Amino acid sequence: MQYVPFGRTGLTVSVAGLGCGGNSILGLAKGKSEAEAVQLVRAAFDQGVTLFDTAEAYGTEGVVGEAAKQIGRDKVIVASKARMREDGEFITAAQLEAKLDASLAKLQTDYIDIYQLHAVTPAMVEHVEEELVPALQAAKAAGKIRHIGLTETSPHDHDQLTLQRVLPTGVWESAMFAFNLMHQGARQDVFPLTEKHGVGTLLMFVVRNVFSQPGVLQQTVKELVAAGQLPEKLADDPEPLGFLIHESGAASLLDAAYRYGRHEPGAHVTLFGTSEIAHLEANIASILRPPLPAADRKRVAKIFGHLKGVGLDLPTRAKAPKH
């Protein structure tokens, strides 16, 4: 495993982080038991993964807490998140405190390394800054959380306006956001801010259905061509990203996608989800491989660099966070 400093937090994190939600929610969505999910987390740790990202919305805080207890709490970095709405209304500071206490109980710990507000839309920013930031800072002062973060709502904020608004304030120590082969806007809009302000970065949507499910990429490209967003010659290309796969390049499209995200300047943790140990090992292997060839990266940026909102499909099995 490779490890890097996580922004200004003082944490050192594994470049591969296990996402404990997504389509599989550690296999729970595929019929596996909580004991098996705990074993999956432990298998990731055995591969060198030290950062585990869960959330109130995922229902896996208990699994992560049990695994962390078995591994040793001080050996892992636990990230969790609070939903932003209750009964259709923005949460209050008191509700956030209650959510934090509930997460601590499920995680069987007295602190969370990175506590994040989950899926913050641009419309929520004012409320977050006025109502919730003071509560987060108080919880940090009390030792309940070590570092304050938030996640964007990628499918509903393609221009990443939330992060562009909040990161310059200097409050946030961690940011989770989308970046992938066909959604590269963070290169101009987010990474310059995270690097300037020392914010740790957690990349999500690096791989989604568009890169992992047969036929989805081809259909997506056809739709983008029809919308005038891609050259017409790509409409009938059976492998629109096939140029990435060659002897000195990527071994597969998934391999290319993980390596493209992992080696973007400013990227700290590339998140991945899985339900199987073999898949876990393959994902980690890709994340640890060298960058894609420079010529391939330039070609991806030239063809797809202007696109926004591609590959940001919400989980099809796990319950998505409320927006």
Helix or strand holding residue 142 (H, E): none
Say which amino acid occupies 206. V
Cβ atoms of 271 and 22 within 8 Å: the answer is no
User: How far apart are the two ends of the chain, measured CA to CA in Å?
Assistant: 35
How far apart are the C-alpha atoms of 174 and 189, rounded to whole Å? 16
Q: Which residue has the tokens 């221009």?
A: 159
Q: Give the separation between CA 106 and CA 248, rounded to whole angstroms.
A: 46
Q: Which of 3, 58, 111, 258 is catalytic?
A: 58
CA angle, residues 305, 309, 315, in degrees to nearest 5: 130
Q: Alpha carbon of 119 to those of 10, 51, 55, 260: distances in Å?
A: 25, 19, 11, 24
Let me know if 111 is a catalytic residue.
no
DSSP 8-state code for residue 89: E
* Catalytically active residues, by annotation: 58
